[in-house]
Amino acid sequence: MGERTRTRAIVVPRAIAARIVPRARPDEIRRVLIAHNLLLGDTFMLTPLVAKLRERHPNADIALLAAPAFVPLYAGRPYGVRALPFSPSRSETTRTLLGEAPFDLAVVAGDNRYSWLAAAMRARHIVAHAGTRPLTQEWFVDEKHPYPDRPAAWGDIVASLIPGEAPRPFARGDWPAPASRDFDLPSGRYAVLHVGASTPLKFWRPERWMALAQHLEKLGLQVAWSGGPGEEGFVRECDPGGRYASYAGRLDLSQVWRLVQGAGLLVCPDTGIAHLGRAAWTPTVALFGPGSAVLAGKGDFWRDTPWTSITEDPFPCRDQHLVFGRPVAWVRRCGRTPAQCAEPRCMHAIDLERVVVSVERALQGQPEGAPGR
């Protein structure tokens, strides 16, 4: 039996058993669960929801599920949240979660199948977005909300699942930096070029990364390459001569935070590290190819952060309208795989000159206020 099958075998009977007993919406919210299984960037984008819950329920115990590798980033308890490790491919994390006391409220973000886990964890009232298929994913959802009919950042959309005014915008220092193991940081002022991403369809051309690195060197910055495990080869494509220091594959996420927070600039594709840059308050230029610079943009909550997005919009094949399986008319994105798309033309369309202009503005403390050209 595989680990994901074990996880389902643990969750399903407990979810059904927990929901046999009639339940009423709780009058007082003392314990809140945020249930999901999201990638790093999407997990960061849940921060407006966490902030709103804290403002609405200042004394509540708020628990957020997170991939085990992400949990150390929450060691400083931003907004007082507890991060609970969860991975469907590690059934022992599910067994541990079921030892938690019951929750008064659960908010399911993204995929509604995790409402089953919320039910198994004895959540009394479960809130999620409507519209997923199959309908079995929504069996345990008590309160369903449609996606808005106007463009908005996904983090703001998720926060709207909770009634009331939007949370106070993120301010510098709202997310305490996690502790990290020591490593050798660049000795002077430096820029981080994080070139990796969750899919090669978000990779920018290697020669453009190298040209940008050389431009930053002329501006007096040291250059530090960054990438996740397995992305060392792409860094070598960008810098075959090893001219600049590379941290690719060498750091855990807490160390990446430290590297990014100490930088005068971060440039990266639309990936989890771009959202880490916002939380660390590092001037960031994010390159959007297949993703939506609106859906993953600053929105209202992150509006004051020194963060710029660059995208070619509209782009002909950025023509899909699904958000976690739900059709949303105003969304324009692309979720195609490398097998379905021969080359990332949307990333190639981002020329070096536009990035250089945005980088220089960011270094001068003038991040752009809106995505686009």
For the stretch 109-119, pLDDT in tens is 999 999 999 99
Confidence of residue 275 (pLDDT cuts 50, 70, 90): very high
- In a shared domain, residues 133 and 222: no
| pLDDT higher than 80, residue 303 | yes
Q: What is the three-class DSSP state of 225?
A: strand
- In a shared domain, residues 228 and 351: yes
| pLDDT higher than 60, residue 228 | yes
Last residue of a domain, one of 136, 159, 182: 159
Tokens at 101, concatenated: 């006391």
Q: What is the pLDDT of residue 372?
A: 39
Beta-carbon contacts of 241 under 8 Å, excluding residues fewer than 6 positions away, are: none
Last residue of a domain, one of 159, 179, 202: 159
Q: What is the three-class DSSP state of 129?
A: strand
- In a shared domain, residues 241 and 131: no
Whether 8 and 236 have beta carbons less than 8 Å apart is answered as no
- In a shared domain, residues 334 and 208: yes
CB atoms within 10 A of CB 4: 13
* Residue 166: inside a domain: no
- In a shared domain, residues 194 and 339: yes
* Residue 173: inside a domain: no
Q: Which residues of 295-330 are buried (b: 16+ CB within 10 A; e: fewer)?
A: bbbbbebbeebbbbbbbbbebeebeeeebbebebee
- In a shared domain, residues 141 and 275: no
Phi, psi of 85 (to 5 degrees): -65, 130
- In a shared domain, residues 214 and 333: yes
Whether 147 and 326 have beta carbons less than 8 Å apart is answered as yes
* Residue 232: inside a domain: yes
Confidence of residue 2 (pLDDT cuts 50, 70, 90): confident
* Residue 184: inside a domain: no
- In a shared domain, residues 113 and 36: yes
Q: What is the pLDDT of residue 26?
A: 80
Q: What is the mean pLDDT of residues 38-44?
A: 97
Q: What is the pLDDT of residue 194?
A: 98
* Whole-angstrom distance, CA of residue 190 vs CA of residue 192: 7
- In a shared domain, residues 121 and 202: no
Confidence of residue 373 (pLDDT cuts 50, 70, 90): very low
- In a shared domain, residues 231 and 89: no
Q: What is the mean pLDDT of residues 31-40?
A: 97
What domain count does the chain have? 2
* Residue 172: inside a domain: no
* Residue 179: inside a domain: no
Domain containing residue 100: CATH number: 3.40.50.2000
Mean pLDDT of the chain: 94
Range of the structural domain that residue 351 is part of? 190-363
* Residue 321: inside a domain: yes
- In a shared domain, residues 210 and 358: yes
* Residue 308: inside a domain: yes
Q: What is the pLDDT of residue 367?
A: 67
Last residue of a domain, one of 159, 177, 207: 159
- In a shared domain, residues 222 and 303: yes
| pLDDT higher than 80, residue 164 | yes
DSSP state of 287: E
Q: pLDDT digit string (tens) for 88-141?
A: 999 999 999 999 999 999 999 999 999 999 999 999 999 999 988 787 888 899
Q: What is the pTM of this model?
A: 0.95
